[in-house]
Amino acid sequence: MNSQTILSNRDDYADLDGYLQEKGYRNILLVSGKSFYRLKLSGYFAGLEDRLGIKIHYFNDIRPNPLYEGILEGMKVFRENGCDCIIAVGGGSPMDTAKCIKTFMFMDESVDYLKQEIVPNDIPFIAIPTTAGTGSEATRFAIIYKDGQKVTVTDESSIPQAVLFDPDALKTLDDYQRKATMLDALSHAVESYWAVKATDESRGYADEAIRMFVDAKDSYLANEEEGNRKMLMAAYTAGKAINITQTTAGHAMCYKLTTLYGLAHGHSVSLVMRRLYPYILSHTEDSNDPRGSGYLNGVLEDIAGAMGKKTAEEGCRYYVDLVRELEMPVPKMREEDFDLMVDSVNPERLRNNPVSLDRQAIADLYIKIFD
């Protein structure tokens, strides 16, 4: 991943002022959710034209699972206003929307963008995460939906050139989103650590992210500034790990829970992972990784060590107990959804999972997930 410029919120966003002036931007497309207007940041951007002569063009028609059609509307705003930079403020949905607006901008308008080869571009892109969860500000991936189907759009040029970390932006998170997003960050780190595609570099990021998570957890849950700052960095570092490895079965199995039962993404991931983690721990002999079951056992011990635990079993228990302690509710499964969920799992993610999962194993896990 190319190096990113990291900006802070100190001195009323002096870093961001300096960065925008240095780059000479004049018309910025700001992609956000409706909650943006509750943030201190909204005042900063409202005064930007008077202070620096930079116009802000807002696109905030963002839904929790961004639609392809919404991307087209955002591109229209960018073009009509002659924008020269994109800033995304928000969680995963605004980030993914902004990434796709950028990625599609110089492609053929007459053809479905999702059916074309991506044409990389250098449109400036700045990310300001308002949740400590997705790590999207560090990754090349964007998830959108078209015709009810989840689509992953991937290109290195969609990684933001600059990231502003603002712990004040996390102060307005409600308890549910606070818990769900932190669990997404931890799940990213754990999944990246045990992924078949893991490298020395990615494991280093994942290990660091888990240690940051453990250190920040209590202060973050208390909505303290230092905890918010540390959790933002934990999520970002986990995102850097995922950018290398991609995710595994934990994410592959969670998407239908999100769409069918209206759960936050991190909530869905945690419900899957609290059952998947023990399964992997007890099936290391079925390792998918060419480095073998001994390697996987060592990785599970390393994950536990990052959590401050002595054994792989204690590490697994830490995760499972955390989901229970946070009181993440389990929905009641509708019988008609069962086959749909089982059949929805992306085979590519299963190849990256540390142990083999056939259809029966996936079905059995879904039954336990709803237990």
**Segments making up each domain of the chain, as ranges:** 5-169, 173-369
Strand spans (E) along 158-217:
162-165
Mean of the pLDDT values across residues 314-333? 98
Burial of 159 per CB tally in 10 Å (0-12, 13-18, 19+): buried
A 10 A CB-CB count for 364 gives 15
Selection from 155, 136, 144 nearest residue 70 by Cα: 144
Task: Inform me whether the pLDDT recorded for 122 exceeds 80.
Answer: yes
Give 2's pLDDT tier (boundaries 50, 70, 90).
Answer: low
> Rounded distance, CA 43 to CA 49, Å?
12
Q: What is the pLDDT of residues 4-16, one digit of tens each?
A: 999 999 999 999 9
Phi, psi angle pair for 27, to nearest 5°: -135, 110
- What is the predicted pLDDT for the residue at 62? 87
Q: Of 64-68, 83-87, 161-165, 336-340, give the lowest mean pLDDT range.
A: 64-68
Phi, psi angle pair for 87, to nearest 5°: -120, 125
- What is the predicted pLDDT for the residue at 324? 98
Mean of the pLDDT values across residues 315-329? 98
> Rounded distance, CA 351 to CA 154, Å?
18
Q: Residue 17's beta-bridge partner residues?
A: none
Pick one of 1.20.1090.10, 2.102.10.10, 3.30.1280.10, 1.10.760.10 as the CATH number of 173-369. 1.20.1090.10
> Rounded distance, CA 238 to CA 202, Å?
9
Q: What is the pLDDT of residues 126-153, one digit of tens each?
A: 999 999 999 999 999 999 999 988 899 9
Give 188's pLDDT tier (boundaries 50, 70, 90).
Answer: very high
Q: What is the pLDDT of residues 26-70, one digit of tens each?
A: 999 999 988 899 999 999 999 999 999 999 999 998 888 899 999
- What is the predicted pLDDT for the residue at 290? 97
Mean of the pLDDT values across residues 14-21? 97
Task: Inform me whether the pLDDT recorded for 185 exceeds 80.
Answer: yes
The residue with tokens 């933001």 is 160
- What is the predicted pLDDT for the residue at 276? 98
Tell me the pLDDT of the chain averaged across its residues: 96
Please count the helices (runs of H) and the strands (runs of E) in the chain.
Answer: 16, 8
Mean of the pLDDT values across residues 197-206? 98
A 10 A CB-CB count for 80 gives 9
Q: What is the pLDDT of residues 221-257, one digit of tens each?
A: 999 999 999 999 999 999 999 999 999 999 999 999 9
Task: Inform me whether the pLDDT recorded for 199 exceeds 90.
Answer: yes
- What is the predicted pLDDT for the residue at 149? 86
CA dist 17 → 12, 21, 73, 166, 233 (Å)? 9, 6, 28, 14, 22
Task: Inform me whether the pLDDT recorded for 355 exceeds 80.
Answer: yes
Q: Supply the pTM of this predicted model.
A: 0.94
175's CB contacts (< 8 A; 6+ apart) are none
> Rounded distance, CA 88 to CA 126, Å?
6
Q: What is the fold of 5-169?
A: Rossmann fold (3.40.50)
Task: Inform me whether the pLDDT recorded for 1 exceeds 70.
Answer: no
Q: Give me the count of residues in the chain.
A: 371
